[in-house]
Structure 1
Amino acid sequence: MLRDDQVKVLWMSRIDYEKNTGVKSHYHDDLYQFLFIIDGKGSIQLGDTVFELLPNHAYFIPKRTEHSFFFSNASSTIDIKFDILSPAVEKFFIAESETIPSIIGDSQKLKDLFKLSVMNLQHAHPLIPYRIDVGFKDILLSIIQEKTMVKENNSRSLYALKQEFQPDFPVIDYLSENLTSPITLQDISNHFNFHPHYIIELFRKNLGTTPMKLLQELRIEKSKEYLEFSTSTITEIAELVGLSAPYFSRLFHTREGISPTDYREQARTVVGKHILLEEEFSHSLKNQPLIYKDLL
């Protein structure tokens, strides 16, 4: 099987914790852990230090480090066990992992990795684990680079990094950032100071679609993320993507062939499952810590 020769993801899971639950103190001899908080609140103890668990933050847990979690609110997480095979990358990681937690400004890449792991669980393909390795390595190195730049410049550079990778078609950014608003073609035209016909032609040439069709696609894609990774109701999700609940349900069913409720139920079937990406890690599953309830 093709795997990355610097960073290897061994295991991944989407785990939801109930209020006042957590994992008691334990450690891992031969692997690193990456805990990402989708939503919720709690605390994590690493050695003798306690950090607050916050949404959109990642927590790195080095090898042989005693750690425990406690969630004071219902919380959703993505948990990744991995190993670093490159001494050079490991050196950077160890140096920067002490300055936790790390805010993840764009969590979509991480959620996409989880979707890839689910795809591999359902329809295994030899390239998927490699894609996960490379994708996770990119996230890992981006965080390390950001922390290094913060140390050197004494200022955050998230905006600069975002600009570096910004798409060349800014209309997509405008639509993505205004999904909750009832955007019209005239709104797009006014914002970019272009004639509506020019906007339509621009979309046709660059994307092979119309602005309004793309807006619908963006809204559906964003709603799928809410359905998979949030506890918001269907009505709340419809509002978050700028649609009425009845229209949202009809549009979703037309495009996906399934209702939003049924889509959520299908997505939730993988919550809490062990997604193995390396067979050699299977023997370690018996050592996975249990979730304990009512820790107060």
Structure 2
Amino acid sequence: MLRDDQLRVFWISRIDYEKNTGVKKHYHDDLYQLLYFIDGEGTIQIEGESYAFLPKHAYFISKRYDHSFYFKSISSTIDIKFDIISEEVEELLKENRLPVPYFIGDSPKLKELFKLSVINFKQPIPLIPYRIDVGFKDILLSIIQENTMSQTSNERLLYSIKNEFHPDFPIVQYLSEHLQSKITLSDISKQFNFHPHYIIELFRKKFDTTPMNFLQSLRIEKSKEYLEFSNFTISEIAELIGLSAPYYSRLFHMKEGVSPTDYREQARTVVGKDILLEEEFSPSLKKQPKISSDL
């Protein structure tokens, strides 16, 4: 199996925790861990220091660092365990110790890695683990670079991670940032001072579709992210992408072939499951002592 020669991801899991549950204190002898907190409320302790869980923040845990979690409400996470093979990269990480927590925003790149792991879980493809290694290494190095550039500001990192969807086409950026609004072709025309016919022609040449069909696709893709990575209701998701709930359900079914509810159920069949990228990954390393909800 082709794997990266500098960094390898051994385990990815999307885990939802119930209220008043968590993970007892433990450590990983030869693995690093990055815990991405999607939403909820709770605390994490690392080497005796306590930190509040903040949505859209990452918590980096070094090898042999004691850590434990406790969740005060229903919470969602993406948990990644990995090892750094390159001594140079490992030294770089040690020299530029990451602050805890670290804001990385919605991080579509990280969520894409989880989606790739799900694809590989359902039907193993030799290239996917390598793509995950390389993709996660890019995320980690980007965080290190941004932290080196500025110890107090994470705006540049947020921009670099989020601003990857056709940065040369500002209309798409505008649409992506205003999904919740009732956008019309006339609104786009006024915003960019272009004739509507010219905008239609731009989209036809670049994407082979109309601006409004493209906007529909953006909304559906964003809603899929909400369905996979949030606990919003279908009605709440519809509102977040600027559609009525009945219309959203019809549009989603037309484009995806299933209802939003069924899509969510399919996506959650892997939540809480261990997605191994190497069979040699020891079960004892991935197990975490959980805290009962009875506490």
Distance change >3 Å, CA 163–CA 284, structure 1 → 2: closer
Distance 1:163 1:45 in 2: 29
Distance 2:247 2:159 in 1: 38
TM-score by length of 2: 0.95
SS in 1 for 2:281: helix
Distance change >3 Å, CA 156–CA 125, structure 1 → 2: closer
Contact 2:26 2:289 in 1 (8 A): no
Return the letter of the residue paired with 2:124: A
Q: In the alignment, what sits opposite 2:7?
A: 7
Contact 1:61 1:97 in 2 (8 A): no
Return the letter of the residue paired with 1:47: E
| 2:177 corresponds to 1:169 | no
Distance 2:234 2:155 in 1: 36
Distance 1:115 1:104 in 2: 18
Distance 2:41 2:19 in 1: 9
Shift of 1:283: 3.9
Shift of 1:107: 1.3
Q: In the alignment, what sits opposite 2:44?
A: 44
Contact 2:11 2:275 in 1 (8 A): yes
Return the letter of the residue paired with 1:210: T
Return the letter of the residue paired with 2:47: G
SS in 1 for 2:55: coil
Distance 1:260 1:163 in 2: 25
Contact 1:253 1:260 in 2 (8 A): yes
Shift of 1:28: 0.6
Distance change >3 Å, CA 228–CA 161, structure 1 → 2: closer
Q: In the alignment, what sits opposite 1:32?
A: 32
Correspondences of 1:196-207 after superposition (within 5 Å): 196-207=196-207
Correspondences of 1:58-207 after superposition (within 5 Å): 58-151=58-151, 155-156=153-154, 158=156, 161=160, 167-207=167-207
Shift of 1:67: 0.6
Q: In the alignment, what sits opposite 1:221?
A: 221
Distance 1:113 1:143 in 2: 16
Shift of 1:73: 1.4
Return the letter of the residue paired with 2:136: F
Shift of 1:157: 5.0
Distance 2:161 2:49 in 1: 31
For this pair of structures, how many residues does the alignment match?
A: 293
Distance 1:199 1:290 in 2: 56
**Which runs of 5 or more structure 1 residues have no equivalent in the other structure?**
none
Contact 2:107 2:162 in 1 (8 A): no
Shift of 1:123: 1.2
Distance change >3 Å, CA 113–CA 182, structure 1 → 2: same
Distance change >3 Å, CA 98–CA 295, structure 1 → 2: farther
| 2:287 corresponds to 1:294 | no
Return the letter of the residue paired with 1:143: I
Post-superposition CA distance 1:25-48 (Å, at most 9, x none): 001111111100010111111112
Distance 2:159 2:55 in 1: 22
Sequence identity percentage? 67
Distance 1:136 1:163 in 2: 15
Distance 2:215 2:243 in 1: 11
Shift of 1:96: 3.1
SS in 2 for 1:168: coil
Distance 1:36 1:97 in 2: 17
Contact 1:22 1:295 in 2 (8 A): no
Q: What's the RMSD between the two structures over aligned residues? A: 1.7
Distance change >3 Å, CA 253–CA 164, structure 1 → 2: closer
Shift of 1:72: 1.1
**Which runs of 5 or more structure 2 residues have no equivalent in the other structure?**
none
Shift of 1:106: 3.9
Shift of 1:125: 0.4
Post-superposition CA distance 1:47-99 (Å, at most 9, x none): 12111111100011111111101111110000011000111111122233452
Distance change >3 Å, CA 283–CA 291, structure 1 → 2: closer
Q: In the alignment, what sits opposite 1:278?
A: 278
Contact 2:109 2:161 in 1 (8 A): no
